[in-house]
């Protein structure tokens, strides 16, 4: 009887070990599925957010750049659209556009410190400096009325307080057909946004730090090139 009793005990222990192993495998499988799903949901959510960021910035620029007016073949180079790359101070790119603010369909001679209803320059710039009060960086800022073409002073209300709420931007790339003299009545603008724009500890474009580049062509109906 004793050998048979030992055999029964041995079989019971083996069954227990098999059960524990199977249970462990099931727990590991469920944990792997949960981690996999969480990773993909997280990356998809981040990708959607940066897409919205870039899309919003492009929509804002399209709405205002469409108001450009003039003829650079007549009025001179960079009198309608002026793209200036600025170094230092965190500012990387500035787009300046002369708009028909009066709404009369005629280009008026630029004046310093223009009123709201007089044709004037507007501007966008990419700035990766930390904002002194809003704690924002990597943003596109907008000036809806420059004091003059240089647009170092924004009249309403000012560069430091104006933002189009795009603060995950890692690049702004305007392309002007013809270079210094506009050769067509459109402007191509590209915006790159990244979940963590400074790229630390994960570089932009890695699965955990999603980024996206979006580009649009903005027509300017009141701009002539003939």
- 63-82: per-residue pLDDT in tens? 999 999 999 999 999 999 99
Residue 34 lies in a domain: no
**Is residue 46 helix, strand or coil?**
helix
- List the one residue out of 128, 59, 120 whose CA is nearest residue 93: 128
Distance CA 65, CA 99 (A): 8
87 is a domain residue: yes
Residue 171 pLDDT grade (very low, low, confident, very high; cuts 50, 70, 90): confident
Would residue 22 count as lying in a domain? no
| pLDDT, mean of residues 178-190 | 91
In-domain check, residue 46: no
How many distinct structural domains can be found in the chain? 1
- Domain membership of residue 69 (yes or no) is yes
- Lowest-confidence range among 9-23, 40-54, 183-197? 9-23
186-194 and 169-175 as β-strands: parallel, antiparallel, unpaired? antiparallel
1 pLDDT more than 60: no
With left for phi above 0 and alpha for psi between -120 and 50, is residue 96 left, alpha or beta?
A: beta
Is 71 a member of any domain? yes
In a domain? residue 35: no
Choice between 136 and 159, residue whose per-residue pLDDT is larger: 159
Domain annotation covers residue 28: no
Q: Which residue has the higher pLDDT, 193 or 29?
A: 193
Alpha-carbon gap, residue 113 to 159, rounded angstroms: 15
Euclidean distance between CA atoms 153 and 26, whole angstroms: 65
* pTM: predicted TM-score of the whole model, two decimal places: 0.76
pLDDT in the model for residue 65:
95
Band of pLDDT at residue 91, cut at 50, 70 and 90 = low
């Amino acid at each position: 009887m004793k050998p048979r009793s030992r055999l029964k005990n041995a079989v019971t222990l083996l069954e227990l070990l098999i059960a524990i192993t199977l249970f462990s495998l099931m727990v590991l499988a469920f944990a792997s599925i949960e981690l996999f799903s969480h990773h993909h949901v997280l990356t998809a959510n981040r990708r959607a957010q940066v897409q919205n960021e870039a899309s919003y910035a492009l929509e804002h620029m399209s709405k205002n750049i469409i108001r450009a007016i003039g003829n650079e073949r007549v009025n001179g180079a960079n009198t309608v659209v002026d793209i200036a790359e600025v170094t230092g101070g965190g500012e990387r790119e500035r787009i300046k556009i002369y708009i028909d603010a009066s709404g009369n369909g005629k280009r008026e001679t630029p004046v310093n410190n223009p009123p709201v209803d007089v044709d004037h320059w507007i501007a966008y710039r990419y700035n990766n400096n930390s904002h002194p009060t809003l704690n924002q960086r990597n943003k596109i800022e907008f000036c809806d009325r420059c004091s003059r073409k240089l647009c170092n002073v924004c009249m309403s209300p000012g560069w430091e307080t104006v933002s189009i709420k795009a603060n995950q931007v890692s690049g702004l790339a305007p392309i002007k057909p013809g270079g210094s003299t506009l050769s067509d009545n459109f402007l191509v603008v590209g915006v790159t946004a990244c979940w963590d724009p400074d790229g630390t500890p994960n570089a932009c474009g890695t699965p955990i730090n999603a980024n996206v580049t979006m580009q649009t062509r903005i027509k300017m109906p009141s701009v002539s090139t003939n």
